[in-house]
């Protein structure tokens, strides 16, 4: 199949002395990395010698050798740097750098990605900028602060900011008269070109002792014995023998850097205001039954190919059970999954040290039928199964020389079902000669058309594969896929068990559990949607062996010693946000004198998604206040009735089964209403230096909960008014706040 004319038009940026740019990112979920890649491509078209890398890939000395450094960072946890920027940030904060003016030759720009529902909005970008200025660096262009809460998300701020930044670059770094910027419809050289291996290449690799064939079943059995059941994986992730030895040593002495808790279950906003997490049957504002998908067939897909190998920094995990915990007719499929991990003695100690504060990372993969469809559309059938080689690869992509194929990369490494980013769509201009397609691609990516771009991509959750179906004239050269397609990222889930429950039945076995809400719905165009990881988990059978990552969650260590455990805890959770709260409750219960805990839990129905309801009776120090937002709300109780109910609740082993009267939201019952209703109990806990945890969906919920807590301070008499409550709540000497929302 012939390539379009545009494919032949490949431009090499002109090398101009003193014109270099490093775009450094700190990213947890990939959003900051995507923007960094887009800015890097823009700079390359303006003939900058461009490097795009994570912050931890650069040293301070490296950035001083660059004409301009652009920092793109998200904020994780409670105003913290993403984990791939922590090392760089630690070096930047060294005390010996103070008052040295050591960065006086650095010119920089900062763009932050944040969520204004968090108190420390864009904190990472702000403190990075402040430190750079403190060390003498000069700001080339004004900082930008993207906000996920805007109508069109980050793009609402990023697009106009980027346009102004580009103009500033042309002014501050003018091009020679004979050189023009490279147009978007001209192909740039791929950053990570692929090369098909010839028969002679494969023969040479065999003679050199390289493994050029997928492992057989016998090989896998050998690996299983060698690794104590670690045989098969689902993401291609090869390591040379020497590096594997180093990796094994590192695993025996692990540390747990901060990483974000579960990020994969977020829903797109469809209104011009944040949608409450408990109101999300309605991306289209109609009944959730319209979103139910047909039941899957009994056939289980082939999820664990025999040619897959371990991923760095992971452990072998066998799935013990995969149980749906919501009724079959409920609008959402929520799964309780348990894994047994085979760990060394040192690893077990490290896990127990972080018990109650762990996240499990799972790596999904694409389905074979989707991969084959893409191969056929692009005309890659003849080379799809030919071994390939490459000199370099993007971060997070692992391969083994001689056995990796195009099909293998598309299956295990590249996210072909992601929602396409703007720079991906722009790149397609070079791969089609259909004038109507070119015009449409330009419309989608033009400045000022952000709403149209959002309506085409984000609003219906249109995937890359579906985009390519719409533009049938596009033919992407196979050797550009690593430079074009995003890499499949691991999905993080809060571990929902801790304490004695985390130890397995035998030595070296740790049992970890997660609560996963599968992303399944129909979009505005009435197409069924399943998240990549949701689709993977849904069909993962009990007994499956996969490789998983296990790390400490972000935020303060809430269970580190008897003193912290003896503090009272006020936990507010909605939906699957109960997962990390359950782990904290279990961990605290293992100590001799745990402090009292009040749990305000919000869900839809008592009978459908009141997760772990029966377990709460096991903890005498725990009082649970459930808010069922879709169950009928009873009439307001009289004071006498309310008092009687509270007493009865205490007798029934901690279940305070009280529903809120409908004075705040007619016919609704949310956690913030219960906080106000039980303001005196909350205020009493507030006076004793509590731990306050807020977990669940982002949007209105965290802000509404915070407002209710402030009201409780006033109602209970802890403070006199809201202004005093604001100051009291912000003082870390009064409480420890941990918020994890997605």
Look at 74-78, 147-151, 558-562 and tell me which has the smallest mean pLDDT.
Answer: 558-562
* Spatial contact of 168 and 141, defined as CB atoms under 8 Å apart: yes
Q: Which two tokens stand for residue 357?
A: 């504060």
Instruction: Say if 402 falls within a structural domain.
Output: yes
Element (H, E) at 169: helix 155-172
Q: What is the DSSP letter of 503?
A: B
Final residue before a domain boundary, out of 151, 172, 193: 172
Q: Which of 308, 311, 316 lies closest to 342 in space, CA to CA? A: 316
Quickly count: other Cβ atoms within 10 Å of residue 90's Cβ: 11
Contacts of 597 (CB under 8 A, 6+ apart): 568, 569, 570, 571, 585, 588, 619, 621, 622, 623
Q: If you average pLDDT over each of 235-244, 292-301, 494-503, which comes out highest? A: 494-503
Where are the extended beta strands (E) located within 156-277?
195-196
How far apart are alpha carbons 365 and 301 in whole angstroms?
Answer: 12
More confident residue, 3 or 289: 3
Chain centroid offset of residue 624 CA: 29
Residue 16 sits in which domain range?
5-172
CATH of the domain at 153: 3.40.50.360
Three state DSSP letters for 462-500 = CCHHHHHHHCCCCCCCHHHHHHHCCECCCEEEEECCCHH
Q: Which of 46, 45, 54, 47 lies closest to 23 in space, CA to CA? A: 54
pLDDT at 53 over 50: yes
What does the pLDDT look like over 481-531, one tens digit per residue?
A: 999 999 998 999 999 999 888 987 777 899 999 999 998 766 555 567 788
Q: Which of 165, 160, 84, 75 lies closest to 125 in space, CA to CA? A: 75
Instruction: Say if 258 falls within a structural domain.
Output: no
| Sign of the alpha-carbon dihedral angle for 275, 277, 283, 286 | negative
How far apart are alpha carbons 651 and 644 in whole angstroms?
Answer: 11
Number of separate helices (H) and strands (E) present in the chain: 26, 21
List 434's β-bridge partners, or say none.
Answer: none
- Average pLDDT for residues 569-595, to the nearest whole number? 95
Instruction: Say if 733 falls within a structural domain.
Output: yes
State the Cα angle at 200 between 194 and 202, rounded to 5°.
Answer: 60
Final residue before a domain boundary, out of 143, 172, 201: 172
Instruction: Say if 394 falls within a structural domain.
Output: yes
pLDDT at 300 over 70: no
Contacts of 137 (CB under 8 A, 6+ apart): 103, 104, 106, 107, 108
What does the pLDDT look like over 614-627, one tens digit per residue?
A: 999 999 999 999 99
List 73's β-bridge partners, or say none.
Answer: 26, 112
Using a 10 angstrom Cβ sphere, with 0-12 exposed, 13-18 middle and 19 or more buried, the burial of residue 87 is middle
CATH of the domain at 457: 1.20.990.10
Using a 10 angstrom Cβ sphere, with 0-12 exposed, 13-18 middle and 19 or more buried, the burial of residue 64 is middle
More confident residue, 394 or 374: 374
pLDDT at 467 over 70: yes
Query: Sorting pLDDT into bands at 50, 70 and 90, what band is 400?
Result: low
Q: Are residues 471 and 350 in the same domain?
A: no
pLDDT at 225 over 50: no
Q: Are residues 544 and 674 in the same domain?
A: no
Contacts of 251 (CB under 8 A, 6+ apart): 313, 344, 347
Q: Which two tokens stand for residue 271?
A: 């209104």
Instruction: Say if 185 falls within a structural domain.
Output: no
Instruction: Say if 731 falls within a structural domain.
Output: yes
User: What are the phi and psi torsion angles at 322 (to 5°)?
Assistant: -135, 90
Using a 10 angstrom Cβ sphere, with 0-12 exposed, 13-18 middle and 19 or more buried, the burial of residue 525 is exposed
Pairing of strands 144-147, 107-114: parallel
- Average pLDDT for residues 441-448, to the nearest whole number? 89
- Average pLDDT for residues 438-453, to the nearest whole number? 90
Diameter of the chain measured on Cα atoms: 88
* Spatial contact of 325 and 334, defined as CB atoms under 8 Å apart: yes
Q: What is the DSSP letter of 56?
A: G
Contacts of 620 (CB under 8 A, 6+ apart): 653, 654
Pairing of strands 545-552, 358-362: antiparallel
- Average pLDDT for residues 589-612, to the nearest whole number? 95
Q: Per the structure, how many domains does the chain have?
A: 4
Using a 10 angstrom Cβ sphere, with 0-12 exposed, 13-18 middle and 19 or more buried, the burial of residue 100 is exposed
Final residue before a domain boundary, out of 126, 148, 172: 172
* Spatial contact of 227 and 316, defined as CB atoms under 8 Å apart: yes
* Spatial contact of 7 and 430, defined as CB atoms under 8 Å apart: yes
Q: Which residue has the tokens 């864009």?
A: 122
Q: Are residues 662 and 578 in the same domain?
A: yes
Residues composing the chain: 742
- Average pLDDT for residues 403-430, to the nearest whole number? 91
Q: Are residues 585 and 531 in the same domain?
A: no
Q: Which two tokens stand for residue 594?
A: 């745990």
Q: Are residues 375 and 358 in the same domain?
A: no
Q: Which of 575, 580, 598 lies closest to 357 in space, CA to CA? A: 580
How far apart are alpha carbons 541 and 390 in whole angstroms?
Answer: 34
- Average pLDDT for residues 655-679, to the nearest whole number? 68
Instruction: Say if 251 falls within a structural domain.
Output: no
Instruction: Say if 159 falls within a structural domain.
Output: yes
Q: Are residues 21 and 143 in the same domain?
A: yes
Q: Which of 369, 415, 235 lies closest to 307 in space, CA to CA? A: 235
* Spatial contact of 658 and 703, defined as CB atoms under 8 Å apart: no
| 131 to 79, 142, 258, 561: CA distances (angstroms) | 15, 15, 21, 33
Pairing of strands 68-74, 20-26: parallel
| 380 to 407, 409, 416: CA distances (angstroms) | 9, 13, 15
Q: Are residues 334 and 410 in the same domain?
A: no
How far apart are alpha carbons 458 and 451 in whole angstroms?
Answer: 10
Q: Are residues 149 and 10 in the same domain?
A: yes
Q: Are residues 357 and 371 in the same domain?
A: no
State the Cα angle at 74 between 549 and 110, rounded to 5°.
Answer: 140
State the Cα angle at 719 between 714 and 724, rounded to 5°.
Answer: 100
What does the pLDDT look like over 352-372, one tens digit per residue?
A: 888 888 999 999 989 999 999
Q: Are residues 360 and 397 in the same domain?
A: no
In this predicted structure, what is the pLDDT of residue 199? 80
Query: Which stretches within 173-315 are classed as H helix?
Result: 199-207, 217-226, 241-252
> What is the signed CA dihedral for 344, 345, 350, 355, rounded to 10 degrees?
100
Q: Are residues 620 and 733 in the same domain?
A: yes
The mean predicted confidence, pLDDT, of the chain is 81
State the Cα angle at 340 between 334 and 342, rounded to 5°.
Answer: 150
> What is the signed CA dihedral for 364, 368, 370, 372, rounded to 10 degrees?
140
CATH of the domain at 638: 3.40.50.80
How far apart are alpha carbons 388 and 200 in whole angstroms?
Answer: 13
In this predicted structure, what is the pLDDT of residue 456? 92
Look at 264-268, 377-381, 427-431 and tell me which has the smallest mean pLDDT.
Answer: 264-268
* Spatial contact of 396 and 435, defined as CB atoms under 8 Å apart: no
Q: Are residues 520 and 580 in the same domain?
A: no
Element (H, E) at 359: strand 358-362
Element (H, E) at 677: helix 671-677
In this predicted structure, what is the pLDDT of residue 522? 67
């Amino acid at each position: 199949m012939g390539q379009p004319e545009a494919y032949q038009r490949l431009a090499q940026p002109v090398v101009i002395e003193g014109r270099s740019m490093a775009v450094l990112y700190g990213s947890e979920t990939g959003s900051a990395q995507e923007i960094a890649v887009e800015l890097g491509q823009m700079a390359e078209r303006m003939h900058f010698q461009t490097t795009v890398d994570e912050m931890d890939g650069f040293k301070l000395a490296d950035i001083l050798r660059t004409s301009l450094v652009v920092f793109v960072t998200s904020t994780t946890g409670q105003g913290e740097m993403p984990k791939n920027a922590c090392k760089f940030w630690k070096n930047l904060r060294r005390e010996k750098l103070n008052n040295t003016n050591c960065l006086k030759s650095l010119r920089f720009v900062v763009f932050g990605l944040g969520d204004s529902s968090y108190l420390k909005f864009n904190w990472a970008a702000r403190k990075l900028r402040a430190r750079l200025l403190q060390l003498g660096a000069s700001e080339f262009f004004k900082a930008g602060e993207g906000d996920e809460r805007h109508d069109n998300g980050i793009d609402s701020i990023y697009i106009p900011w980027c346009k102004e930044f580009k103009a500033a670059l042309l002014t501050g770094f003018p091009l020679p008269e004979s050189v023009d910027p490279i147009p978007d419809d001209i192909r740039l050289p791929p950053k990570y070109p692929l090369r098909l291996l010839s028969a002679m290449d494969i023969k040479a690799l065999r003679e050199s002792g390289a493994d050029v064939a997928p492992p057989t079943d016998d090989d896998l059995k050998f690996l299983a014995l060698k690794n104590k059941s670690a045989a098969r994986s689902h993401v291609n992730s090869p390591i040379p023998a020497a590096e594997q030895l180093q990796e094994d040593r590192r695993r025996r002495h692990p540390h747990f850097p901060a990483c974000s808790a579960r990020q994969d279950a977020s829903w797109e906003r469809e209104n011009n205001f944040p949608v409450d997490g408990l109101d999300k049957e309605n991306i289209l504002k109609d009944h959730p039954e319209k979103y139910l998908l047909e039941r899957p067939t009994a056939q289980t897909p082939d999820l664990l190919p025999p040619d897959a190998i371990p991923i760095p920094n992971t452990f072998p995990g066998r799935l013990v059970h995969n149980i749906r915990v919501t009724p079959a007719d409920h609008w959402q499929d929520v799964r309780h999954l348990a894994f047994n991990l085979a760990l060394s003695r040192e690893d077990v100690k490290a896990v127990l040290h972080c018990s109650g504060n762990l996240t499990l990372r799972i790596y999904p993969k694409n389905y074979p039928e989707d991969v084959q469809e893409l191969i056929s559309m692009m005309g890659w059938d003849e080379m799809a199964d030919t071994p390939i080689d490459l000199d370099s690869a993007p971060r997070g992509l692992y391969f083994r020389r001689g056995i990796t194929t195009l099909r293998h990369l598309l299956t295990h490494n590249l996210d072909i079902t992601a929602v396409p980013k703007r720079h991906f769509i722009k790149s397609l201009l070079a791969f089609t000669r259909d004038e109507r397609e070119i015009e449409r691609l330009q419309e989608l990516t033009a400045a000022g058309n952000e709403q149209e771009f959002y309506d085409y991509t984000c609003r219906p959750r249109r995937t890359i594969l579906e985009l390519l179906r719409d533009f049938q004239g596009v033919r992407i050269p196979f050797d550009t896929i690593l430079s074009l397609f995003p890499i499949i990222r691991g999905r993080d889930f809060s571990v929902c068990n801790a304490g004695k429950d985390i130890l397995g039945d035998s030595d070296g076995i740790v049992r970890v559990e997660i609560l996963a809400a599968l992303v399944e719905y129909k979009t505005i165009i009435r197409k069924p949607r399943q998240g990549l990881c949701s689709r993977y988990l849904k069909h993962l059978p009990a007994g499956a062996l996969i490789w998983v990552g296990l790390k400490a969650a972000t935020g303060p260590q809430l269970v580190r010693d008897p003193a912290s455990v003896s503090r009272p805890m006020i936990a507010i959770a909605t939906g699957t946000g109960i997962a990390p709260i359950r782990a904290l409750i279990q961990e605290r219960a293992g100590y001799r004198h745990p402090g009292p805990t009040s749990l305000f839990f919000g869900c839809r129905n008592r009978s459908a998604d009141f997760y772990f309801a029966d377990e709460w009776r096991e903890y005498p120090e725990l009082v649970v206040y459930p808010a069922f937002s879709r169950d009928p709300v009873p009439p307001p109780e009289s004071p006498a009735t309310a008092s009687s109910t509270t007493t009865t609740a205490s007798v029934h082993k901690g279940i305070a089964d009280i529903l809120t009267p409908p004075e705040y939201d007619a016919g609704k019952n949310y956690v913030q209403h219960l906080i106000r209703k039980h303001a005196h109990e909350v205020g009493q806990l507030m006076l004793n230096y509590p731990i306050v945890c807020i977990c669940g969906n982002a949007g209105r919920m965290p802000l509404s909960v915070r407002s209710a807590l402030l009201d409780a301070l006033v109602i209970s008499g802890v403070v006199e008014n809201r202004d005093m409550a604001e100051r009291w709540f912000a003082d870390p000497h009064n409480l420890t706040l941990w918020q994890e929302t997605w």
